[in-house]
Amino acid sequence: MHVDDLGEPVPVADVPQRVVSLVPSLTDAIETTRPGLVTGATDYCTHPVDLDVPRVGGSKYPNVEAVLDLNPDLVVANAEENRPEDVARIRANGVPVWVTAAAATVPDGLGSVRRLLTQGLALDEPSWLVDAEDVWRTAVPEWATAIIPVWRRPWIVVGRDTFAGDVLHRLGVANAYADHPDRYPRPPLDELNAKGADLVVLPDEPYEFTADDGPEAFPELPYALVNGRFLTWCGPSLVEAHTALTAALSGSRP
- Mean residue pLDDT of the chain comes to 96
Q: Three-state SS across 170-204?
A: HCCEEECCCCCCCCCCCCCHHHHHCCCCCEEEEEC
Does 253 score more than 80 pLDDT?
no
Map out the domains of the chain as residue ranges: 2-134, 144-250
pLDDT of the residue at 217: 98
Is the C-alpha dihedral spanning 173, 175, 178, 179 positive or negative? positive
d(CA 145, CA 193): 13
The Cβ of residue 142 has, within 10 Å, a number of other Cβ atoms equal to 11
pLDDT of the residue at 72: 97
Does 14 score more than 90 pLDDT?
no
The Cβ of residue 161 has, within 10 Å, a number of other Cβ atoms equal to 14
Tell me if 2-134 shares its fold with 144-250: yes
pLDDT digits over 91-150, tens only? Answer: 999 999 999 999 999 999 999 999 999 999 999 999 999 999 999 999 999 999 999 999
Does 254 score more than 80 pLDDT?
no
CATH number of 2-134: 3.40.50.1980
Does 240 score more than 80 pLDDT?
yes
Question: Sorting pLDDT into bands at 50, 70 and 90, what band is 13?
Answer: confident
pLDDT of the residue at 251: 80
Q: Report the CATH fold assignment for 144-250.
A: Rossmann fold (3.40.50)
pLDDT digits over 157-206, tens only? Answer: 999 999 999 999 999 999 999 999 999 999 999 999 999 999 999 999 99
Under 8 Å between Cβ of 147 and 177:
yes
**Residue range 68-87: average pLDDT?**
97
pLDDT digits over 133-169, tens only? Answer: 999 999 999 999 999 999 999 999 999 999 999 999 9
Overall residue count recorded for the chain in this entry: 254
